[in-house]
Structure 1
């Protein structure tokens, strides 16, 4: 894998140096709270109009639109599982990341920024969400040769540190297998 992985604290709606940002969407792809609200506010009403014909989506699915007023080319919308409701939660969450990367690869996108899908209002335990997200990205990237950079943009410093530690542990474990 030649792609770099980054974990930062920041605002997913302000990532001007990446080609696509990922929206932690709701099934109807409407604006809303959290990541979806921030991205829709920054993109403008065109994003909502572009999403309407693509909805509804099911947990684990991903769709792509233009980014409109955002500083990116595309928005990839993923519906993560509601923890304790949508099962098997780990498989559905992994599908979000895998499907988003597959869409990015198919559209020639070289850099992608992810939020912590399902780890907010959908109640996914943060450590489990980080493990599933990062492990899935690490195993999917070899099948996505055009993707050069994946960034995880976390809302707070504690989450960013959790993702950095989880990534280091997964990379260490992978290197020990070799």
Structure 2
């Protein structure tokens, strides 16, 4: 049984086996969580991302998929990079968002990670409404069979924390 916990704060300050990065498809860093993880993780994270681009993901990591690298200087063993969908009012992309969580847990399981820290994927520059994103994230984690013992949602502000707290119950 996976325990879901909520923390308000900075995901780059978390101690966990794996920290999930809300990455862009390039895997080369960016803004928000992605940029913060790359900055705090240091050059080892970017080096492994570049190697992934050169070997398996020449066109970038597809939306809804996940891949792991070292965590570099972060207080974790791995960073699991996942690419969330950009929110659209005209197209339901909920399944892609749920896939980010399921695929990240699959990768975590393959690595042997027992604790995984997630941000609220797609809720920053990808504009996914926080209430809906929280519902999708919690449902995806609860419905995924995994050996991960703790899923920790690390939420940046009160609004996100409250939205996830309503879903977790």
Structure 1 and Structure 2 fold alike (TM over 0.5) = yes
TM range (shorter): over 0.9
What count of residue pairs does the alignment treat as equivalent?
163
Report if aligned partners of 1:59, 1:86 keep a CA contact under 8 Å in 2. Answer: no
| TM-score (structure 2 length as normaliser) | 0.92
Return the alpha-carbon distance in structure 2 between the equivalents of residues 47 and 147 of structure 1. 22
What are the within-5 Å matches in structure 2 for residues 125-140 of structure 1?
Answer: 125-140=129-144
State the shift of 1:88 in Å: 3.9
| TM-score (structure 1 length as normaliser) | 0.88
Q: Structure 1 segments of 4 or more deviating over 2 A?
A: 85-88
State the shift of 1:167 in Å: 1.3
Indicate which of 32, 39, 64 corresponds to 2:30: 32
RMSD: 1.4
In the alignment, structure 1 residue 166 sits paired with structure 2 residue 164? no
Return the alpha-carbon distance in structure 2 between the equivalents of residues 124 and 104 of structure 1. 24
Query: Can you list the C-alpha shifts for 1:97-136, whole angstroms capped at 9, x where unaligned?
Result: 0000011111110000000000110011111100000000
State the shift of 1:86 in Å: 9.8
Report what 2:151 is aligned to.
Answer: 150
Report if aligned partners of 2:25, 2:62 keep a CA contact under 8 Å in 1. Answer: yes
Question: Unpaired segments of 5 or more residues in structure 2?
Answer: 54-59
Return the alpha-carbon distance in structure 2 between the equivalents of residues 86 and 36 of structure 1. 26
Question: Unpaired segments of 5 or more residues in structure 1?
Answer: 169-178
